[in-house]
Structure 1
Amino acid sequence: MKNSGKKDLKDPVFETKKLGKIYDMGQVKVPALTDINVRFFRSEFSVLLGPSGSGKSTLLNILGGLDSPSSGEVLFNKRPLRGDQDADLTEFRRKYVGFVFQFYNLIPSLTAEENVKLVTDISDNPMSSSDALELVGLTERKDHFPSQLSGGEQQRVAIARAIAKRPEILLCDEPTGALDFQTGKIVLDAISKINRELGTTTIIITHNVSITSIADRVVEMRDGLIISDKQNPKKTSTESLHW
């Protein structure tokens, strides 16, 4: 998959058309997404909001090439993202997508810097692992192992790892779900900084309404449907967050 040509900030990075997902559980078929039509734009900071079971994780996984739709299609930079082509999806994830999950998935036997370097070693145009850790404020902790880091520090290492390959998209699945309020704010501040300074298209999924105030746009989901899609009229800083 090649990505060429001049990029317009108003161009959608992602566009879904009548996207649907049904999980086949034997005798029972469970609809997870129904007729999803949504666009996410370049350098935008979006929040997918909804309760557990609303379909937001399924949508995020399909956008990130971790899952495939049952119907409809996803366009990435105006080109179809083929869910039936494993090699194409692997290349797409490797080149264009950085993932941050609720649990950090760090390798315990590697230092913070070594965990980040795992990604830079397989990327075409990575930033240095030290630069990535500096972006999330962890320069002084680069030689520490995960067991020597707090939960928030481990999550920031995971963010550094995700952005070290300079991905076009950063997809975050409940990145503060396992963290307390103060630590969560630090993590969200790191994500906001990356969006602001690198122009990385960023999508966070959460059930926490308070987090929506720092986003450019909020897409609300319920029962596999999009029930609201709005620009945020008064975007705030992470410092003003309360929950």
Structure 2
Amino acid sequence: MGELELVALDAVSLDLNRGELVVLLGPSGSGKSTLLNILGGLDSPSKGKVRFEGKEISLGGEDDLTDYRRRYVGFVFQFYNLIPSLTSKENVLLVTELSEKSMSAEAALSLVDMGDRMDHFPSQLSGGEQQRVAIARAIAKNPDLLLCDEPTGALDFKTGKIVLDAIEKVNRELHTTTIIITHNEAIAQIADRIIKVRDGKIVSDKVNTHKLKTEEISW
């Protein structure tokens, strides 16, 4: 930024294991969103390397990153990003042609318990229901990596737990490597592994030996 150099991530190094549910935990400005964007191929690091399945993706151009995102990564954002003029099913159908291994829109919506709301528009759904449609859209192409950026940040406690249930179910049943970023320490209790980020550094990376079910957590 002009003469100002801002270090968003500082010598961060980690491995993610297939099928695990990981929470990236840290306060606002800690660098966790930047890390998520790099993992998802939305940003490229100014230094260092990013490898997926042994292949380095950080050296590729924008076409390579687009192909990586299209084939392997599903994104869930805080504010749903559904298209208002499309039904739940139509929103999910948008991504099913992006991958050779896509599931049907009906199957994706049923997996997050939204099979009875397929023909509803976003304006006819609650916030939690919209987020579950967004999760269905993210998983419809059967991604290897599911990245969730503050997925409960815009939701109340009760609705947030329903959304976390849906994410945990996807991780368990599809064996999708799942990363949730949050500032909420309670949410970290459902993870297989908790990585704490502060000031652009990983300050802690631990296996969660006391993993809880979503109904057991509170905040």
Residue of 105, 116, 136 corresponding to 1:129: 105
1:18 aligned residue: none
Shift of 1:184: 0.3
Question: Which of 63, 74, 77 is 1:87 aligned to?
Answer: 63
* Separation of aligned partners in 1, 2:16 and 2:214: 22
Aligned pairs, number: 219
| 2: CA distance, partners of 1:66 / 1:180 | 28
Give the Cα separation in 1 of the matches to 2:172 and 2:156: 24
Kindly provide the CA deviation profile for residues 109-160 of structure 1, in whole angstroms up to 9, marking residues without a partner as x.
Answer: 0000000000013321210000000000001111000000000000000000
Matched letter for residue 174 of structure 1: E
How far did residue 83 of structure 1 move? 4.6
Partner SS for 1:184: helix
- The correspondence of residues 1-243 of structure 1 with structure 2, limited to 5 A, is 25-243=1-219
Q: Is the 8 A contact 1:45 1:202 kept in 2?
A: yes
Q: Distance in 2 between matches of 1:83 and 1:95?
A: 17
Amino acid paired to 2:208: N
CA–CA distance in structure 1, aligned partners of residues 160 and 203 of structure 2:
27
What stretches of structure 2 of length at least 5 have no aligned partner?
A: none
CA distance in 1, matches of 2:208, 2:35: 21
Judge which range, 75-84 or 37-46, deviates more: 75-84
SS in 2 for 1:73: coil
Higher strand share: 1
Contact 2:71/2:98, CA 8 A, preserved across alignment: no
Task: Point out 4+ residue stretches in structure 1 off by more than 2 angstroms.
Answer: none
Deviations 1:205-228 (A, max 9, x none): 000000011000000000000000
> Once structures 1 and 2 are overlaid, which stretch shifts more, 185-194 or 121-130?
121-130
| Cα drift, residue 199 of structure 1 | 0.1
Letter in 1 for 2:205: D
Say whether the 8 Å CA contact 1:82–1:88 is kept in structure 2.
Answer: no
Q: TM-score, normalised by structure 1?
A: 0.89
The gaps in structure 1 that reach 5 residues or longer are 1-24
TM-align CA RMSD: 0.7
State, as a whole percentage, how many aligned pairs show the same letter. 66
**Alpha-carbon distance in 2 for matches of 1:242, 1:35:** 33
User: Larger relative contact order (C-alpha < 8 A, sep ≥ 6)?
Assistant: 2
Question: How many Å separate the matches in 2 of 1:208 and 1:83?
Answer: 34
Deviation (angstroms), 1:77: 1.0
